[in-house]
Amino acid sequence: MSTITLEINNAEIENLICQLANKLNIKYTKKEVLKENDTTLLDKMNELAGKIDEESSFGDASEYQREVRKDRKLPYRD
């Protein structure tokens, strides 16, 4: 078994190679690879950065833990 990796910048050639692989009964996988200088990658990174909140949605985590872990009366214990 062998693996071949091709970098294709032309959609027409990509379609021809996929058709050839199908005719020859060769399994293949397609993976979109974005380069660092690709504007779509930068757009996605900026979009994700805009969604991040500086504070968590439930407030102070340590205060939450103290509230949840308070001593309480447990059944069958005196």
In angstroms, the CA 54 to CA 51 distance is 10
Q: Please give the model's pTM, rounded to 2 decimal places.
A: 0.43
Encoded tokens for 7: 């970098």
**Mean pLDDT value across the chain:** 80
For 21-57, the pLDDT digits (tens) are 999 999 999 887 766 666 777 787 888 877 776 555 6
What percent of the chain shows pLDDT beyond 90?
Answer: 21
Query: What are the structural domain ranges in the chain?
Result: 11-68
Residue 59 gets the label, from left (phi > 0), alpha (psi -120 to 50) or beta, of: left
In angstroms, the CA 54 to CA 48 distance is 13
Rounded alpha-carbon distances, angstroms, from residue 53 to 46, 59, 68: 13, 12, 24
